[in-house]
Amino acid sequence: MSYVLNESAMFADESADGFVAAHRNLVRRVRGGVARATATPPGQVAVVIGGGSGHYPAFAGLVGPGIAHGAAMGNVFASPSARQVVAVARAVASDAGVLLAYGNYAGDALNFDQAQDQLRSEGIPCETVRVTDDICSAPAHEQEKRRGIAGDLVVFRTAGWAAEQGFDLESVAGLTARANQRTRSVGVAFSGCTLPGAPEPLFTVPAGMMAVGMGIHGEPGIETVPMSSARELAELLTARVLAERPEGVSAEGGRIGVIINGLGSVKSEELFLLYGAVASLMQGAGLTIVDPEVGEYATSFEMAGLSLTVVWLDDELERAWRSPAYTPAFRKGAVHVAETPLIASEEGEADVCAIVAASGESSAAGVRVLKALDSIRQVIDREADELGRLDAIAGDGDHGIGMRRGARAAAAAATAASAAGAGAGTVLIQAGEAWADKAGGTSGALWGLGLRTMGEHIGDAEAPDAAAVAQAVAEARAAVQRTGKAQVGDKTLVDALVPFSERLTGLVSDGQELATAWTAAAAAATGAAAATADLLPRLGRARPHMEKSLGTPDPGAVSFALAVTAVGGALYEHELKEN
């Protein structure tokens, strides 16, 4: 549990502010995260890492000479938004370009890919490497589907070293990808972790047992086995990692880097005890360990757990592995810090968006959009804890927090836009931008995309009629499916979105008023969301834990149904006032 807390929705932001205050000699606050306190030298590739909060020292703690130039910092267990990633990358980019490196999770991939596209469109060269070291999250022949855990440290250090050597962007990306391809991790958990403000842990492990294969977001393990001695645990972890030797690596001998990573509650003495047993086994396998790392590198709040990471080194990767670094949380060797002047904080900068002139009818419609968005804020505020509970059954439990941050930000942005006389389209676009930026994660990106798409279709020329609203929803549905790649049956919000859109379009085409058609469509979405309890997830973090989610509806589908139902109530209220 969290002992130091104000409001759970603000935990990540307030923690980041305190982190920067404690390390002003090394990092500065920038929009979207943190960056080195000194400028990136001309000709040096800037390495931007990132992910959700709750994993310190990943990710902000690894910003500094020898590793990363900047870190995009998402909400608790949620990816940073594309806007956050872009902002951090702009703050550190040089003429040599930017390498994005992050753990392979659906929300991170969606947002970092969008950021890469935007950076390239702005003329900033950009490449990406996703960390896929967790052998328990997908079979060997589907390595591209594996998630990133403590192997992040290997990959980020390699990227930082290559950048410091003056390698060009293609070479930095190539060596970083090779480090990822040669890195394997497996972990165990003895207890779950608890999100800030949550009343109970995301999952529990029966007494005397341990979960093998948990993720750093609190995802449950793949299997549960009896707890063992340190020697037996070392044998389990070592055997599984060594069975995954990368292609092209000799089965005999070799030099390896080893990380024993604590997830939060397992103390240093215990980690050292485990390392001693692992080192003996590695030596027995004919392997030479180079500069082992034992400590906390990728945590999960107070989770009692640990992981073993192995990287099979070649000459170049060994130089990267042994290289010096100086960051708030990782210091090795001697590092020369260039005397580059400190750059002023960019935290105060804000995106400037001019409100275009709108017709009187559209401005009035903008007020109705604001009321609809505020109804979403109210229902999400009320149901956030339950959404988090649903998400924790097979996911990472952050859906309620993310939806609350997104809905609040969208309502606030809509309020400001409407007060400035914005039309319905601009109000929706501003709300979508704010939702994506503050919520982060997959759902934040998709909700933001959906609202922006609706706003772009509706525009500010006139008040939209029922047909225009139905068409805007249909276009938003298409954009969400095109970007998120989900289909009906994958157990995502799409399972509620598609029937909602189809029902709304059909009823409006039959001549029904918007409030009546919307309410009936919301009922269809609610039924479809409930029906997802019978589905097995085929996308997202719940995918490796399919059976655990059976019998529980998808939280994304449930939150969507709650939102559109609330909007239906707002539409009816408006009709009553009009009549």
Instruction: Please list, in sequence order, all residues whose beta carbon lies within 8 angstroms of the beta carbon of residue 272, skipping any fewer than 6 positions away.
Output: 294
Q: Are 432 and 450 in contact (CB under 8 A)?
A: yes
Of the residues 23, 69, 217, 457, which is catalytic?
217
Task: Tell me if residue 55 is catalytic.
Answer: no
Tokens (6 digits) for 199 = 């009343």
Burial of 383 by CB count in 10 Å (0-12 exposed, 13-18 middle, 19+ buried)?
buried
Place of tokens 């995918």: 543
Tokens (6 digits) for 68 = 């990363």
Place of tokens 């872009």: 86
Q: Are 202 and 397 in contact (CB under 8 A)?
A: yes
Residue 472: C-alpha distances to residues 261, 450, 457, 466, 507 (Å)? 48, 9, 6, 10, 15
Place of tokens 């900033």: 124
C-alpha angle 179-52-17 in degrees, rounded to nearest 5: 115
Distance CA 74, CA 77 (A): 7
517 three-class SS:
helix
Identify which of 515, 394, 511, 490 has the alpha carbon closest to the alpha carbon of residue 498: 490
Identify which of 369, 425, 379, 367 has the alpha carbon closest to the alpha carbon of residue 406: 379
Active centre residues (catalytic) = 217
